[in-house]
Structure 1
Amino acid sequence: MPARPVTRPQVASTLPAEAAKAPASVIRATASEKVAGQVDLDFNDHDPGTDEKPIGDDVSALARIGDTLFCATDEGSAIESLAWDGKAQRYGAHRCLPLADVFDLPDGDEGEMDIEGLAIDDGWLWIVGSHSLKRSKLRDGDDLSRLPEIKTDRNRCFLGRMPLVERTPGMFEPVKRDGQRRAAALHIRKDGSNAIRRRLGKDPLLAPFMRVPAKENGFDIEGLAVVGDRVFLGLRGPVISKVAMLVELRIADGGRGGLKLAEVTEGLDYLLHPMLLDGLGVRDLLYVDGRLLILGGASMGLSGPQAIYALDAMPARGHHLARDRIHRVMCLPIVDGADHAEGIVTHTDGSTQLLMVVCDSPAPARRKDPRALRADLYRMP
C-alpha cells in the first residue's frame, strides 16, 4: 500500500534545545586514538598510467562480509570488490562491478553516482548515492560568473540493493538475481529526483537545503546503515545549529525490480533523528554488534575535526533516538589538506575485531604504490 502523504513535520522537535545552550565540545588532535596497525587495499587491475584518477584517491564507502571487502568511489558508477589475502596481509584480487550492467541508470555508466554509502544486511548489499547537487569548480583564470552553475547528476539519486551469493567460503559476489531475490532500486525520474528527495524536499527543516550544493552545507547523504527493513541515512549536510541529521526510512519491495518507501510508523513515511556531533556532519555509518557507529567530519570541503561516535542502542521503530545515548568514542588525527576520514568498516585479525578507517584525499604516505591505498586500523571503540 503506498505511503500516505504527511503534512506535519516529522522530527521530534524543531531542534534540540541543548544545541543552542551549550557550545560544542572541543575535539583536539592530541586526543586522537593511536593507530593499532595498517592494511593495504590493492586495486591491482587499475592502470595508473591513464588520465583517470587512481581508485585509491576517491574511496568513499566500505562494506565487508566474510573475507570480501566492497568499496565504492565518489566518481563513476561501479562497485569495487577486494578479497582478504591473509598471507600478504592485504586486500587484493580486485574486481570491478559496473552497476549499469544491473540497474537502469538514467545517465548510464557515464553518469557519476557519487556512491557514499554501502551496507550489508541479511544477504543483501545496499548502495546509496549522495542525492546531492554540485557546483562547478572555480579554476585558475575563471571568472566568478561560473560559480552560479549548479549541476544535477541524475545517477546520484540512487538507492538500491543486490543479493549476495557466497561463491567460495568467505567470498561473496553481488548478483542481479538469486532465485526469488533480485536486484532492485528506487525509481529515478527524468528530472533526477526520486521518492527520497521528493519527500524530504517538503520537510520544514530540510527543504531550504535541497537546492544547495554538497560541501556548501546542502543536502548530502554520506552514510548508510540497514537493519531489516529499516534504512538509516546519515547526512553530511545540512548541519543546522550544530545538529546533524539521521534519516530513518522503511523500504519495501515494489515489484519488477523496484523498491518503494513504506510507512515508518502510522502516518509517517520518514523520521528525522537530530544528533549532536560537536557540530560535525555524518561521513559514514556502521551498524555492528547492536550499536551504530557514526563517523563525523566537516560538512564542507575543509580539513578539520573528525571523530567517531557510538549510539549504544537503536531506537524502537517509530520512536526518536535518545540523544543522550550518543557518545564520542574516538578522535581521529587531523592532517591539513589530506586524510579526510571517509569510510569505516570492521576488520578481523585472528580473533580480534578492529575498526578500519579509509581516507579520501590520502596523504602521500598512503600511496607508496599507485595501485593501493593504505588504511588505518584501530581498536574497536
Structure 2
Amino acid sequence: MSEGFLLSRLLVRFDAPDDVLLTNLSAVALTPDGSLWLGADEGTGLERLSPIESHVYGHHQHFELSNFIPLNNPEEEIDIEGLDYFDSYLWLVGSHSLKRKKPKGKDVNSDIKRLTEIKAEKNRYLLARIPVKNGQLLPSFSTAEPNNQEFRAAVLETSPDGNQLIEALKTDEHLGLFISTPLPSKENGLDIEGLAVYENKIFLGLRGPVLRGFAIILELEVEEKEPGVLILKNIGENGKPYRKHFLELKGLGIRELCVQGEDLIILAGPTMDLDGIMKVYRWKNALAQSSNTISYFNSEALEFLFDLPFCLDSDHAEGLELFNSLGQPGLLVVYDSPNSKRIVSEREILTDIFRLSNFSK
C-alpha cells in the first residue's frame, strides 16, 4: 500500500448553509477563467465558485441546467457523476443507472417491499455540453470574425429507454445483459461515474459492471445532428458507435477520470455499496488508442500511482481534477459523504490536493 502525499487542502465556501452540497459532491472541473465547477449526485444544477485567496474558493453561483438543456423532469435529480471542460464547453454526464429503493427503517414489511422496487429516472440518462464564457453558462455564443465559430448547448439524442448510448449498448456482447436485466447501480449494474473529454474524444468510466476484475471505459465521439442534439459517430469495431477499453483494476470500478497529457488518470473504488480502499491509476497513452483494448494490472500501459487515505463510512472520493498547488503538480479530490472533520461550517468544506508526478497537461 502506497498512500498519496497530501500537498494541501482547498476550502470551498458556499453562499448559504446547504447540507446537500456539503455531503453529496460527485464531480469537479476547472475552467480557464479560474472558476471551480461542482456537481452533486442530487439536484438538477451546477455550482460555480471563484478564487477568493490562496486555496479558498467562494462567490458561489448556482446554475439550473434546465435553463440551458432540456430535462425530462425538472424536479427529478440528474445524478451528475462527471464534469470536464474542453474548448469552451463544460461537459457533464449522469449515471445512466437504475436505482433500488432504500429501506427506511420504520416498517419491516414496507422495507422488504421497497427492496423489490427498481426505478429508472430519465434525467440520469444525460450526456450534455454547455458553453461557458467568463465564468457563465450560456445557451450559445459566437466568436468574432474571422473564425465566427458558434458554441451551443446540446445533449445526446434521447430515446424512450434513455438515449442513443443505451440503445447501442443493448446488443453489446459484454454490456447488453446488464441493460436487459434490471440491475441497479451499486449492484454491478450499469453505472457511469467517470468523464474525460479531449478534442473529439469522450471517455466514460463505468463503476459497474466490472467483469472478472476488469473495469470498463467507453470511448465515444459525437457530432451535431441538429441544433441542440448530438449523435454518436460509428468509431468502433463492426460499425459500433463506441470503443471499449478493459482495465484490470483488481475488482474495482471507475469513479472518475481526468486527462493528463496523453494519459488518463483513473480514480478507482468499490463497485458495490461498501467501504474500501480508493486507488489512483494512470492509463498511459489512452488518447492514442484507435481500437478496443485490454490493459493488465502492472502492465506497461497501466500504472498504479497511490491509495487515498481510508476513512470508514466517510470520505467517498468522487470528483477528480488536475490542480497545481505550492508549486507542484497536484490532483484535486472532492468527496461524497465527507468525514465530519472536513466540514468547517454549515457552508464550508475542505477538499484534498494530492501530489501527482509527470504533470504534462
What is the TM-score normalised by the length of structure 1?
Answer: 0.85
Are 2:171 and 1:206 equivalent residues in the alignment? no
Q: Find the aligned partners of 1:218 and 1:312 in 2 and give their Cα distance.
A: 27
Helix, strand or coil at the partner of 1:40:
strand
* C-alpha deviation, 1:47, in angstroms: 3.4
- Please name the residue that 2:43 is paired with: 76
Contact 2:244 2:293 survives alignment (8 Å): no
Are 2:157 and 1:187 equivalent residues in the alignment? yes
Map 1:157-306 onto structure 2 (within 5 A): 157-166=125-134, 172-179=135-142, 180-189=150-159, 191-210=160-179, 211-265=182-236, 267-306=239-278
- Please name the residue that 1:145 is paired with: 113
Sort the Cα spacing of 1:199 and 1:265 in 2 relative to 1 into closer, same or farther, 3 A. closer
Helix, strand or coil at the partner of 1:348:
coil
Q: Find the aligned partners of 1:230 and 1:345 in 2 and give their Cα distance.
A: 18
* C-alpha deviation, 1:86, in angstroms: 2.3
Contact 1:229 1:252 survives alignment (8 Å): no
Q: Find the aligned partners of 2:92 and 2:287 in 1 and give their Cα distance.
A: 23
Map 1:1-381 onto structure 2 (within 5 A): 28=1, 31-44=2-15, 46-48=16-18, 53-66=19-32, 67-87=34-54, 89-108=55-74, 110-140=75-105, 141-143=107-109, 144-166=112-134, 172-179=135-142, 180-189=150-159, 191-210=160-179, 211-265=182-236, 267-321=239-293, 323=295, 324=299, 325-349=301-325, 351-381=327-357
Matched residue type, 1:225: A
Helix, strand or coil at the partner of 1:299:
coil
Contact 1:116 1:129 survives alignment (8 Å): yes
* C-alpha deviation, 1:192, in angstroms: 4.4
Unmatched segments (≥5 aa) in structure 1: 1-27, 167-171
Q: Find the aligned partners of 1:95 and 1:307 in 2 and give their Cα distance.
A: 32
Q: Find the aligned partners of 1:104 and 1:35 in 2 and give their Cα distance.
A: 40
Helix, strand or coil at the partner of 1:239:
strand
Matched residue type, 2:203: F
Contact 2:263 2:287 survives alignment (8 Å): no
Q: Find the aligned partners of 1:317 and 1:227 in 2 and give their Cα distance.
A: 13
Q: Find the aligned partners of 1:308 and 1:105 in 2 and give their Cα distance.
A: 33
What is the TM-score normalised by the length of structure 2?
Answer: 0.90
Q: Find the aligned partners of 1:80 and 1:192 in 2 and give their Cα distance.
A: 29
Helix, strand or coil at the partner of 1:318:
coil
- Please name the residue that 1:3 is paired with: none
Matched residue type, 2:175: L
Q: Find the aligned partners of 2:227 and 2:289 in 1 and give their Cα distance.
A: 27
Sort the Cα spacing of 1:90 and 1:149 in 2 relative to 1 into closer, same or farther, 3 A. same
Matched residue type, 1:299: T
* C-alpha deviation, 1:265, in angstroms: 4.5
Helix, strand or coil at the partner of 2:324:
strand
Helix, strand or coil at the partner of 2:113:
helix
Unmatched segments (≥5 aa) in structure 2: 143-149
Q: Provide the aligned C-alpha RMSD in A.
A: 1.6
* C-alpha deviation, 1:271, in angstroms: 1.2
Helix, strand or coil at the partner of 2:96:
coil
- Please name the residue that 1:25 is paired with: none
Contact 2:20 2:42 survives alignment (8 Å): no
Please say which of residues 141-150 and 68-77 is displaced more in the overlay.
141-150
Contact 2:41 2:79 survives alignment (8 Å): yes
Helix, strand or coil at the partner of 2:250:
coil
Helix, strand or coil at the partner of 1:208:
helix
Q: Find the aligned partners of 2:287 and 2:322 in 1 and give their Cα distance.
A: 22
Q: Find the aligned partners of 2:324 and 2:5 in 1 and give their Cα distance.
A: 18
Q: Find the aligned partners of 1:188 and 1:111 in 2 and give their Cα distance.
A: 16
* Corresponding residue pairs, total: 339
* C-alpha deviation, 1:279, in angstroms: 1.3
Contact 1:253 1:259 survives alignment (8 Å): yes
Q: Find the aligned partners of 1:136 and 1:322 in 2 and give their Cα distance.
A: 35
Contact 2:204 2:219 survives alignment (8 Å): yes
Matched residue type, 1:174: L
Q: Identity of paired residues, percent?
A: 34
Q: Find the aligned partners of 1:265 and 1:208 in 2 and give their Cα distance.
A: 19
* C-alpha deviation, 1:317, in angstroms: 4.9
